[in-house]
């Protein structure tokens, strides 16, 4: 089994783009279910590391959003698609991603022995 890609391996640009996408959806700009920058980067990392995973399983085995069901590569199985608790789930997701970015940008983790 492959090691899951860490959120820390993704670029700030990918995290910024997901914030823009889902913030816009909350403001009523509509949500198109397409691959985002996170999907693209997860696929690239998995393929660059020559992980022995069928392409169709990369999301399930490698994406950091998969275990929490934020994104399951299928809109009807993902918490980030319009559903019963959609606004609450998207608010929680945006809080999490924003917190990750703030920690990264302020180098908070470095001060406490976290990420490099």
Establish if 63 belongs to a structural domain. Answer: yes
Residue where the block lists tokens 């490698």: 62
Q: Residues 71, 90: contact at Cβ < 8 Å?
A: no
Sign of the Cα pseudo-torsion (60, 62, 64, 67, in order): positive
Establish if 2 belongs to a structural domain. Answer: no
Look up the pTM and report it: 0.82
pLDDT at position 104, please? 87
Establish if 95 belongs to a structural domain. Answer: yes
Establish if 116 belongs to a structural domain. Answer: no
Establish if 1 belongs to a structural domain. Answer: no
Residue where the block lists tokens 């959609």: 86
pLDDT, tens only, 73-84: 888 899 998 777
Domain span including residue 63: 7-111
- Number of folded domains in the chain? 1
Residue where the block lists tokens 């660059």: 48
Establish if 43 belongs to a structural domain. Answer: yes
Write phi, then psi, for 10 (nearest 5 degrees).
-90, 150
Establish if 24 belongs to a structural domain. Answer: yes
pLDDT, tens only, 38-57: 999 999 998 888 667 888 88
């Amino acid at each position: 089994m492959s090691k899951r890609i860490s959120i820390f391996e993704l670029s700030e640009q990918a995290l910024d783009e997901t914030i823009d996408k889902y913030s816009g959806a909350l403001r009523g700009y509509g949500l198109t279910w397409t691959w985002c920058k996170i999907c693209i980067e997860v696929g690239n990392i998995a393929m660059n590391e020559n992980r022995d995973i069928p392409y169709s399983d990369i999301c399930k085995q490698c994406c950091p959003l998969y275990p929490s069901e934020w994104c399951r590569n299928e809109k009807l199985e993902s918490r980030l698609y319009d559903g019963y608790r959609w606004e609450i789930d998207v608010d929680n997701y945006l809080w999490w991603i924003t917190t990750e970015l703030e920690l990264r940008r302020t180098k908070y983790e470095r001060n406490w022995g976290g990420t490099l």
